[in-house]
Amino acid sequence: MFENFKLDFIETPEATLRVRYGGAGPPVLLLHGHPRTHTTWHRVAPILARTHTVVCPDLRGFGQSDKPPDSADHSGSSKRAKARDCIALMRSLGFDRFALVGHDRGSYTAFRMAMDHPESVSSLAILDGVPIIEALERCTERFARQWWHWFFFAQPDKPERAILADPDAWYGGSPEAMGIENFADFQRAIRDPETVHGMIEDYRAGLGIDRAHDEEDRRQGKVLRCPVLSLWSLRDDLEDVYGDVLAVWRPWAPDLRGHGIDSGHHMAEEAPDRLAAELLRFMRTDRPGP
């Protein structure tokens, strides 16, 4: 797994992150979702590394990266805080500007990074995600039925107790589908109480401080200044919940393209060749944004 990549722990001003990086060429940062770690990219990263320098961290609160202290507003788990970590990480590796890819919960950190640090993000690929404020404003009965976990995870204490009672039953997964080493890393994460708490805090921040940051951007008329690619899994429920996914993104992304791909939700594990091809095509054709 990750042949010829380096595994390291890199200290940033606010958190120490576990990071895997390798390859050569223009830099690209890959951000995982819930409940994965950076190893979810093990089938995609080597393909991208043939032409790019690929950086894959465990986000703050996830995997073996630092867990933020608790606070009433969950600011330590905000996407703004995680974006600062990632900017500092890339600068420590010598990259002031880079392509950015975020999946699932990682897409919210990627979105926030591109909004807060437009000078650093040359292009943004969002996998199975829309801005948090757009998701919450579209909270219909269908959303509540299919994405009920957003609201359960916002409750104090109970989500952690439910998950840790039987993490394997809660999250599922298998070595056959995920790959043996990726599955082992995932299992270490979901069985660790501190990591489970860190992952759930990501959702608590999402319903409060992260939404407030999106609302402030909207009031100020801010939009993404880089090319944006939105990809979603046709065998997951993004289209079912939102209908026209690109229509959700257009108010935020003047330079937008995207479509669904034949995959389940964890597309980096289920459709790595197709995903890598889409990302490489996008990174070759991206151009300065408005």
- The answer, yes or no, to whether residue 289 has pLDDT greater than 70, is no
Whether the ω angle into residue 35 lies within 30 degrees of 0, i.e. cis, is: yes
The pLDDT value recorded for residue 285 is: 75
Check if 38 is active-site: no
DSSP tag of 286: -
Dihedral of CA atoms 229, 233, 236, 242 in degrees, nearest 10, equals 30
- The answer, yes or no, to whether residue 287 has pLDDT greater than 80, is no
φ, ψ of residue 138 to 5 degrees: the values are -105, 30
Helix (H, G, I), strand (E, B) or coil at 191: coil
Q: In this predicted model, what pLDDT tens digit does every residue of 236-256 receive, in sequence order?
A: 999 999 999 999 999 999 999
Strands 27-31 and 256-261, bridge-based pairing: unpaired
User: In the predicted model, what is the mean pLDDT of residues 23-48?
Assistant: 98
| Cα–Cα dist 8/18, whole Å | 6
| Strand order through the sheet with 98-103 | 6-11, 16-23, 53-57, 27-31, 98-103, 121-127, 228-233, 256-261
Catalytic residue among 104, 236, 255, 286: 104
- The answer, yes or no, to whether residue 286 has pLDDT greater than 70, is no
Check if 116 is active-site: no
Q: In this predicted model, what pLDDT tens digit does every residue of 178-235 receive, in sequence order?
A: 999 999 999 999 999 999 999 999 999 999 999 999 999 999 999 999 999 999 999 9
Q: Supply the mean pLDDT for the chain.
A: 96
- What is the residue type of 109? T
- The answer, yes or no, to whether residue 264 has pLDDT greater than 80, is yes
- The answer, yes or no, to whether residue 172 has pLDDT greater than 60, is yes
